[in-house]
Amino acid sequence: MNTTQLTLFWLFAALTCGGAIAVCVSQNVVRMAFSLVLTLGSTAVLFLLLGADFVGATQLLVYVGGTLVLIVFGVMLTATGPFTRIKSSAAGGILSGLIGIAFLFIVASTVTSVRWVDSDKGQGVASKIEFGTHSKAVASHFNPEQQGNTTRQLGLSFLSLRADRDLKFGIPPAPVEESNTAPVIPGESVAAAALPLNSNPKLSVGYLLPFEIVSVHLLVVLVGAAYLARTKRRTKS
């Protein structure tokens, strides 16, 4: 990360935390919702800054564009007065504060227990695959880690072809399969070397089936919810 990226990171990290604090401090429901926009939107920007553009876009689409709109709708539909205020009691404040601190402790202990040095290495390997049009960026100073473009890697991992495990790196293309004799242009060398599969015939576990099961499950939940809501209305009328 260069200085600009670091500055941006701290800026948006501050915005994330500031928004989160504002959600707790504010008493106006709609302002809370707006602070949530700030928090979730800045989180998306943090993902984008870290090169996880797919996760960042998903964060925007699902949380800011979807969930938050639902929340605001809910607030608007259930509000009794024009600008509803929420006041919590002192006991409630203490209780939620304790829960919050406990959660912070869990998160902090999880974060510190990971050996980031090792996983950094793995990520470095993963970022070397560049399937995009601008694959020349690999050779230069601007690596795809900064650029993002992780979609294809994600898609391949879904199909149990993980970039950091199942694909080989750093091997000159000559000894692998056939005769790859054409001179390797520096910019493409990494991508070309990344082609052959690992000698280990056992691939990683794919995530496609769990993903599909979860989405079908969600669909069933949606249909069920719609059905329940409709039957209620029918019995009334």
Partner 1 sequence: MDTLLAANSLAEYLHTNGVPVVGPLDDSTAMIVAAVVHVALVGAWFGLPAGLFIWAERKISGRIQDRLGPTRTGGKFGWLQSLADGIKLIQKEDLVPKDADGLMFRLAPYIVVVASFVGYIALPFSDGWAAMVLDVGLFLTLAVLSLEVLGVILAGYSSGSKWALFGAMREGAQMVSYEIPMAICALCPIVTAGTLNLNEVALLQSGGAWNWNVLHPFNFFAFFVYFTCATASCKRAPFDLAEAESELVAGFLTEYSGFRWSLFFLAEYASMFLVSGLAVVLFLGGWDDGFGIIVAIKKAFPDFLGTFIANVIGLKVFLIKSSILVCVQIWVRWTLPRLRIDQVMTTCLKYLIPISCFLFAGTVAYPLVLAKMSGQTSIIGPPAGERLVQPRSAFATSRLEPNGTNPASVQVSAASSEGSQP
Binding site for partner 1 (CB under 8 A): 2-5, 28, 30-31, 34, 37, 41, 53-54, 56-58, 60-61, 64-66, 68-69, 72-73, 76, 82-83, 130-137, 140-142, 146-152, 178-185, 187-188, 191-192, 194-195
Q: Give 4 or 110: the residue with its C-beta nearer to partner 1.
A: 4
Judged by beta carbon, residue 19 or residue 41, the one nearer partner 1 is 41
Sign of CA dihedral 135, 138, 139, 141: positive
Q: In this complex, which beta carbon is closest to partner 1, that of residue 73 or of residue 227?
A: 73
In Å, how far from its chain's centre is CA 61?
A: 11
CB 154, min distance to partner 1, A: 9
Question: Smallest distance, Å, CB 143 to partner 1?
Answer: 10
Nearer to partner 1 by Cβ, of 73 and 103: the residue is 73
| Backbone angles phi and psi of 203, in degrees to 5 | -85, 170
Q: What are phi and psi of 50, to 5 degrees?
A: -80, 5
The helix/strand count (H/E) of the chain reads as: 10, 0
Measured from the Cβ of residue 195, the count of other Cβ atoms closer than 10 Å reads 14
Q: 197: which strand partners?
A: 167
